[in-house]
Amino acid sequence: MGNFSGTLSQDDLDGLAKITGSSLDEIQILQTNFQHLDKEQKGFVSKRDIIDRLGTTSSDEKIFLNKLLDLFSDKSPDHRVSFQEFIIGLSELRSDSKDSKLRLLFDLIDSDRNGLLGAKELEEAFKLVKLEHLTKQDITEIAYQTLIYADANQDGYLDFEEFKEFYNTVLQITI
């Protein structure tokens, strides 16, 4: 699929529909929204374009949005997100597959993108949950205890399978 330049060919639209499970109408709506993000009609958007356009004000929202946009742009060698990358990324967010959602959650937490979650990454994720009655020290302790409990191979990190097992066994939160 070529770069987005205003309109997509029918083959491009059909390909995106197949990859993402979206209807052609949904793709065209997303294409219009993408054009609003790409104000300068560059054919791509950057994190800055999206953040500026959305005008997110809360620091927690900015942290989450930055992590999410990192996932989109990390898939692109130049850290620019084309329309095709944008819509494929959005389709991953909409997935009905529990494994896909867990993979997305894991990738959001894995800030250094090494495929492993350390105590500091778990601590940062727990901070975003905003459990008001917990102190910073409590959150740190929960992160370390989580790592001790869920680290089946005892390497000091959680890989995706260990994370998934912990999530399914202990957390059992509906996603």
CA distance 53 to 57: 12
Supply the pLDDT for residue 7: 65
Strand blocks (E) in the chain: 44-45, 81-82
Query: Domain segments of the chain: what residues?
Result: 10-94, 98-171
pTM exceeding 0.85: no
Reference 89, options 105, 68, 107; nearest CA is 68
Q: What contacts 74, CB < 8 A, 6 or more positions away?
A: 113
Do the domains 10-94 and 98-171 sit in the same CATH topology, yes or no?
yes
- Strands 81-82, 44-45: pairing is antiparallel
* 24-37 vs 47-54: helix crossing angle, rounded to 10: 90
Please report the pLDDT score of residue 52 as a whole number.
Answer: 73
Q: Is 119 helix (H, G, I), strand (E, B) or coil?
A: helix
Look at the domain 10-94 and name its fold. Recoverin; domain 1 (1.10.238)
Domain 98-171 has CATH 3.40.50.880: no
Q: What is the pLDDT along the chain (175 residues), one digit of tens a residue?
A: 434 445 678 898 888 888 888 888 888 888 888 888 888 888 888 777 777 776 655 666 666 666 777 766 666 666 678 888 788 777 776 767 778 888 888 888 888 889 999 999 999 888 877 777 888 899 999 999 999 999 999 999 999 999 999 988 886 654 4
CA dihedral 49, 74, 43, 63 (to 10 degrees): -10
